[in-house]
Amino acid sequence: MKSIFFLSVCLGIFVSVLASDAIAQIAIKAKVIYTMSGEPVKEGIILINNGKIENVGYASDVFIPENYDIIMANVVTPGLIDAHTVVGLSGILNYSHDQDQLDKTEAIQPELRAIDAYNNREALVEWLRNFGITTIHTGHAPGALASGQTMIVKTYGENLTEAIISHSKCVAFSLGSTVSRNFKKPGSRSKGIAMLRQEFLKAKDYLEKRNQDKEDKKPARNLRLEALADVLEGKLYALFTVNQAVEIMGALRLAEEFNFKLILDGAAEAYLLINEIKKAGVPIILHPTMVRNYGSSKNASFETAKKLKEAGITFAIQSGYESYVPKTRLVLFEAAVAHANGLSFQDALASITIDAAKILGIENRVGMIEPGKDADVVLFDGNPFEYTTHVCQVIINGEIVKEDCY
């Protein structure tokens, strides 16, 4: 009898372990679903299976299988995307050992990789996740001519391998007074651009030799030139943090001269160069709407997002870099303020979902709620841009990673 009881207990434990490891099958019944692939779906259903969106549509059109767990929601959006941050390299505390976002030993270090410094278990990553940010484009901070490479990662995963989307996406460049404050050279904007131009010329020569058919003609590996050569070859984007109009024009000229893929970052005075930016056809990862108006960002405007949208310029909103605790902003709040200053609700939400995904080249996985995409969704108890609204649940890759409205 004891043997039978022991066997039953063991079998029960075994079954419960299997159940806990089973892939969640979830049906979300929502009053409003912002899919970002069309008009909002009112009284809709999302089916999640095997970490992917299986189906989405009106409740009358979507059948819920028996084995699906049902979750009720008021408002559902895609997982939010922070288009540029330093979270994971910059820690939550103001201690030097907690800050890996900017190496000040040299002004040009494109060979530095974010993945080599990113802390998947940093408290700030969880903090962002609890506000619905499920994907971040993070890496080395502005402040150097070339501070290093960026990466794209989910804000949840047992380890970095599970969380990673792209090991290297951009090389982060900066122009302007912030560089001169951090380094003896360059001492001016023109010197900074001249230094970058010289490195790009070296990289161009390196690239030509690297592409030689004969092995004995190939150059010895040079990590710095290799990274810049990848920019010239289009394997990596050039992310230029430029705020004042003169800096923006400098980045546009470099991109035209060396024919690399440019993303403007910050761009506080972009509203002064609407025609030039539109003609160049480059996207913008715009500064946080509530960025402090000082230094090179002194002329930032609450209405820039609206003006870019009206001009047909693709943009996303970022959290950026903050030097004070808690060391990061929240794109949810920044997009809400842009909405309050003239950007439509749908366009504000797009700036932290699908438009951010398109700029980063990851729209095949995230940014929309549609079949085949990663099951990254956020459940709100009201309008996402209302201050009193709560993030009730966050789902990443089909797994509930936050379940609390308060």
Q: At residue 305, does pLDDT exceed 60? A: yes
Q: Band of the pLDDT at 8, cuts 50, 70, 90?
A: very low
Specify the 3-state DSSP secondary structure of 305: helix
Q: Band of the pLDDT at 17, cuts 50, 70, 90?
A: very low
Q: Which residue has the higher pLDDT, 237 or 180?
A: 237
pLDDT at 186: 95
Amino acid at 2: K
- Tokens at residue 168, please? 């290297």
Q: Which residue has the higher pLDDT, 52 or 8?
A: 52
Closest CA to 266 of 239, 298, 241: 241
Q: At residue 62, does pLDDT exceed 70? A: yes
Q: At residue 289, does pLDDT exceed 90? A: yes
- Tokens at residue 349, please? 């939400």
As a whole number of angstroms, the distance between CA 360 and CA 355 comes to 9
> Average of pLDDT values for 131-153?
97
> Average of pLDDT values for 195-209?
97
Q: Band of the pLDDT at 272, cuts 50, 70, 90?
A: very high
The pairing of strands 170-174 and 237-242 is parallel
pLDDT at 19: 36
pLDDT at 326: 77
Q: At residue 11, does pLDDT exceed 80? A: no
> Average of pLDDT values for 90-104?
89
> Average of pLDDT values for 218-224?
95
pTM, full prediction: 0.93
pLDDT at 322: 84
pLDDT at 389: 97
Computed over every residue of the chain, the mean pLDDT equals: 93
What is the share, in percent, of the chain residues with pLDDT greater than 70? Answer: 94
Q: At residue 86, does pLDDT exceed 90? A: yes
> Average of pLDDT values for 135-153?
97
Q: Band of the pLDDT at 23, cuts 50, 70, 90?
A: low
- Tokens at residue 82, please? 């922070």
As a whole number of angstroms, the distance between CA 221 and CA 217 comes to 12
Closest CA to 145 of 91, 115, 82, 187: 187
pLDDT at 406: 60
Q: At residue 398, does pLDDT exceed 90? A: yes
CA distance to 96, 238, 307, 382, per residue, from 340 (Å) = 37, 31, 14, 17
> Average of pLDDT values for 173-197?
94
Instruction: Give tens-digit pLDDT for 318-370.
Output: 999 887 777 899 999 999 999 999 999 999 999 999 999 999 999 999 999 99
As a whole number of angstroms, the distance between CA 91 and CA 293 comes to 24
Q: Band of the pLDDT at 127, cuts 50, 70, 90?
A: very high
CA distance to 88, 116, 288, per residue, from 140 (Å) = 10, 11, 17
pLDDT at 284: 98
Domains by residue range for the chain, with CATH: 22-78+371-403 (2.30.40.10), 80-360 (3.20.20.140)
